[in-house]
Amino acid sequence: MRNASDLQLAVAAQRQGVPMVAIARPEQWITEKRPWTAEGFSIWKSTKAEGHSQAKTHLAKTAVAEWVLYPDPISSVQ
């Protein structure tokens, strides 16, 4: 599945019991610098292609029997 490496990494981590941490970022911390034309390629446009979001949702729902949420390792250190 193209442009779904974040989801594939999350699935692999869940299957192996490896906790993942998402680092808080300020709003708009990363932005696209160049405008895309109607003909140009962009990951955002490709994810809007018919069936792409449904395929990612299906993978997220079926690849792991039960998603485990691990405690925040930072808040538990005091």
Count of alpha carbons within 13 Å of 1, Cβ hemisphere only? 18
Question: Residue 61 has what pLDDT?
Answer: 85
Question: Residue 72 has what pLDDT?
Answer: 79
Question: Residue 77 has what pLDDT?
Answer: 65
In angstroms, the CA 48 to CA 10 distance is: 21
Question: Residue 74 has what pLDDT?
Answer: 73
Question: Residue 21 has what pLDDT?
Answer: 84
Q: Which residues of the chain have pLDDT under 70?
A: 1-3, 32-52, 76-78
Question: Residue 3 has what pLDDT?
Answer: 67
Cα-Cα end-to-end distance for the chain = 41
In angstroms, the CA 15 to CA 66 distance is: 10
In angstroms, the CA 3 to CA 32 distance is: 16
Tokens representing residue 59 in the block: 């993978």
